[in-house]
Amino acid sequence: MLTKLTGGIVYDPANGVNGKQQDIFIEDGRIIKKPSKDAKVDKEYKIKDKVVMAGAIDLHTHIGGGKGNIARMLMPENHRLDAVAHTDITRAGTGHAMPSTFTTGYRYAEMGYTAAFEPAVLPVNARQAHMEMADVPILDKGGYVMLGSDDYLLRMMTAKKDQQAINDYVAWTIRAAQGVGIKVVNAGGISAFKFNQRKLDLDEKNSHYDVSPREILKSLATAVKELGIKHPLHVHGSNLGIPGNIETTLNSIEGVEGLPMHLTHVQFHSYGTEGDFKFSSGAAQIAEAVNKNKNISLDVGQIMFGQTVTASGDNMRQYANHGFARPNKWVCMDIECDAGCGLLPFKYRDQNFVNALQWAIGLEIFLLVDDPWRIFLTTDHPNGAPFTSYPHLIRLLMDKSFRNDMLATLHPEAQKMTTLASIDREYSLEEIAILTRAGAAKITGLVNRGALGDGDWADITVYTENKDREKMFSKPDFVFKNGELVVKKGKIEKVTWGTTHVVRPDYDASVEKNLEKYFSRYMTMKMGNFKISDDELTEDGRGSITVHPTVGGKV
């Protein structure tokens, strides 16, 4: 079947196409060059002067794993306000801060997204996370496997095992948990919390294992580099949300010594201690450091005002913030000595000085980091705001006067503390396409995704040009997933099922010898059960696995 999209204005930064009118041909789910002359076009979409981009990719969004279910249980009142009825093709569910899996898939697709990555897959909970993501329709998905506070790694580091042994363990874990990257959350801090440490600075030792976050970051970043995993170490830094944590973040950048590192939800890690309220923006320093260090990439974790729920593996910081839970209920827990989990409902308020400044800091980071290939558009769903606020965020980035109008309504002291009003930058459509498509595909190591070139998968979004970018990006005309029309005029047209992206770096099989003993002695399951087989992801008949190459490795 040959499909033709005629006359669209194409933004495809991966192939250097910036707003050029050109036709796109789709055959068997992939984009092809011009077909031969006698080939018959089966279906033509006339999209003259409409904006065409690849399907958007969210590289950091909490859509799977146990914390989502805890958040759902914790906030029934949030679901009551947003009940979603079933239709002939879609299933019923609930929405807002932590939507049900099906609703998550539909709402992402209806905004033109075709892939989303769960950034906190605990290896011990990976099976549940994959099962849950298997219920997210349309989207491709993948997970970053969370290490850095797990007992086994910390024991290895205490015992001063060599880097090769750590590499093998990391590679084995990413294979066993079917991940596409490695994430570290408050390195060593989740573990330290259980030994009664209530904060852990970059050079402070975990009292039980005698290991510092800096050593863990360095070790894991090296492992990721040496294993050839394309997505840099995905780092949720130490001291989240503490005024003055800008120092920690800058030290972390310096601490990885040039190794690739992705700093996630940086907005929460960019706070200074200036001003009357001892809380100020560190965006300019972060942006300067990122502009200078080409090994660093980041996503912002923008906050938006309103009710949401914060869901994080960082139980140390979640516990410290539990007094701010609104409504007043929260959960913090250990998860089988592998990591932790903390959830607290949160309401960001525009007349609150701290919240208002957080909003401004996020936008400052967006606008001060020069290279769009190293910064990504996220709200750290649901921590900063539900993902459904992306179109609004895009408008804030693309429309200076709108941004300043919004700023003018915020807490007056916060307005004084930000340079946002003086920043003239407005994102172009090309830059938005980089942030949400080409760059995101590149940094997660996806092959043939986020691009519209010959041979790329036909994940395509078609928008009607509109000065109001929020309207434009919230309701695409068409969304194609693997060449199939899934969304028409912002409504689900067909429900398909995406693939699970993974990477499989090589490791020495003898790593299992010690692991098997360890699992038998300490864990709640045997090593054999810990490993997730491919069949588990595909045997339901709708899931599939896409293995992406490692640097220098074979698929």
Partner 1 sequence: MSALTFTLKQRTDQRVDMSPLVSQKMVDMELPEIGAIELQNGKSKVRVDQLFKISGSDAQNIVIENSFGKLDFIGRELGGGNIRVEGDVGAYLGMGMKSGTIEVTGNTDIYPACEMANGVLTINGNAGDFLAGALPGNRQGMKGGTVIVKGNVGDRAGDHMRRGVLLIEGNVGDYCGSRMVAGTIAVLGETGRYLGYAMNRGTLLLWNKPQLSVGFNDCGSHTLAFLPMLLASFKKFNSKFSEIDIFNRVQRYGGDVSAKGRGEILLKL
Nearer to partner 1, 80 or 425 (CB): 80
Nearest to 187 by CA among 358, 322, 314, 324: 314
C-alpha to C-alpha distance for 157 and 215, rounded to whole angstroms: 9
Nearer to partner 1, 84 or 296 (CB): 84
Residue 551 · residue 228 · CB < 8 Å: yes
Nearer to partner 1, 84 or 432 (CB): 84
Q: How many CB atoms lie within 10 A of CB 76?
A: 9
Nearest to 334 by CA among 320, 316, 352, 353: 316
Binding part of the chain for partner 1, among 73-81, 124-132, 133-141, 210-218 by CB under 8 A, reads 73-81
Does residue 76 belong to the site contacting partner 1 (CB under 8 A)? yes
Binding part of the chain for partner 1, among 20-28, 67-75, 208-216, 271-279 by CB under 8 A, reads 67-75
Does residue 80 belong to the site contacting partner 1 (CB under 8 A)? yes
Q: Which amino acid, one-letter code, is at 48?
A: K
Residue with structure tokens 């949160």?
346
Nearer to partner 1, 39 or 83 (CB): 83
CB of 78 to partner 1, least distance (A): 9
Does residue 74 belong to the site contacting partner 1 (CB under 8 A)? yes
- Cβ-based neighbours of 66, under 8 Å, separated by 6 or more: 122, 125, 128, 129, 335, 341
Does residue 278 belong to the site contacting partner 1 (CB under 8 A)? no
CB of 302 to partner 1, least distance (A): 28
Q: Which amino acid, one-letter code, is at 33?
A: K
CB of 83 to partner 1, least distance (A): 12
CB of 330 to partner 1, least distance (A): 12
CB of 327 to partner 1, least distance (A): 6
CB of 439 to partner 1, least distance (A): 39
CB of 92 to partner 1, least distance (A): 11
Nearer to partner 1, 87 or 328 (CB): 328
CB of 335 to partner 1, least distance (A): 23
Number of residues lying near partner 1 (CB under 8 A): 9
CB of 86 to partner 1, least distance (A): 10
Q: Which amino acid, one-letter code, is at 304?
A: M
Nearer to partner 1, 80 or 517 (CB): 80
Binding part of the chain for partner 1, among 69-77, 170-178, 439-447, 539-547 by CB under 8 A, reads 69-77
Nearer to partner 1, 85 or 509 (CB): 85
Q: How many CB atoms lie within 10 A of CB 198?
A: 11
C-alpha to C-alpha distance for 434 and 12, rounded to whole angstroms: 8
C-alpha to C-alpha distance for 371 and 105, rounded to whole angstroms: 30
Over its C-alpha atoms, the chain yields an Rg (Å, rounded) of 22
C-alpha separations of 85 from 79, 88, 89 in Å? 12, 10, 11
- Cβ-based neighbours of 458, under 8 Å, separated by 6 or more: 3, 24, 26, 29, 30, 31, 480, 482, 483
Binding part of the chain for partner 1, among 70-78, 310-318, 381-389, 492-500 by CB under 8 A, reads 70-78
Does residue 163 belong to the site contacting partner 1 (CB under 8 A)? no
Give the x/- contact pattern for partner 1 in 494-513, rule: CB under 8 A: --------------------
Helix (H, G, I), strand (E, B) or coil at 26: strand
CB of 329 to partner 1, least distance (A): 6
CB of 25 to partner 1, least distance (A): 44
Binding part of the chain for partner 1, among 4-12, 74-82, 116-124, 244-252 by CB under 8 A, reads 74-82
Nearer to partner 1, 328 or 544 (CB): 328
Residue 546 · residue 502 · CB < 8 Å: yes
Nearer to partner 1, 73 or 551 (CB): 73
Nearer to partner 1, 74 or 174 (CB): 74
CB of 66 to partner 1, least distance (A): 18
Binding part of the chain for partner 1, among 30-38, 71-79, 93-101, 253-261 by CB under 8 A, reads 71-79
Nearer to partner 1, 99 or 498 (CB): 99
Beta bridge partners of residue 473, listed in sequence order: none
Nearer to partner 1, 77 or 276 (CB): 77
Q: Which of 42, 49, 77, 203 binds partner 1 (CB under 8 A)?
A: 77
Nearest to 511 by CA among 535, 524, 527, 534: 527
Q: How many CB atoms lie within 10 A of CB 370?
A: 12
Binding part of the chain for partner 1, among 42-50, 76-84, 229-237, 284-292 by CB under 8 A, reads 76-84
**What residues numbered 318-337 form the site for partner 1, per CB under 8 A?**
327-329
Helix (H) or strand (E) holding 298, with range, is strand 296-299
CB of 99 to partner 1, least distance (A): 16
Q: What is the 3-state secondary structure (H, E, C) of 427-463?
A: CCHHHHHHHHHHHHHHHCCCCCCCCCCCCCECCEEEE
Query: 199-204 long-range contacts, Cβ below 8 Å, gap at least 24?
Result: 199/239, 199/242, 199/316, 199/320, 200/238, 200/316, 201/238, 201/239, 201/248, 202/238, 202/248, 202/251, 202/252, 202/255
Residue with structure tokens 């015992």?
159
- Cβ-based neighbours of 453, under 8 Å, separated by 6 or more: 12, 14, 15, 31
CB of 119 to partner 1, least distance (A): 27
Nearer to partner 1, 327 or 553 (CB): 327
Tell me which residues touch partner 1 (CB under 8 A): 73-77, 80, 327-329
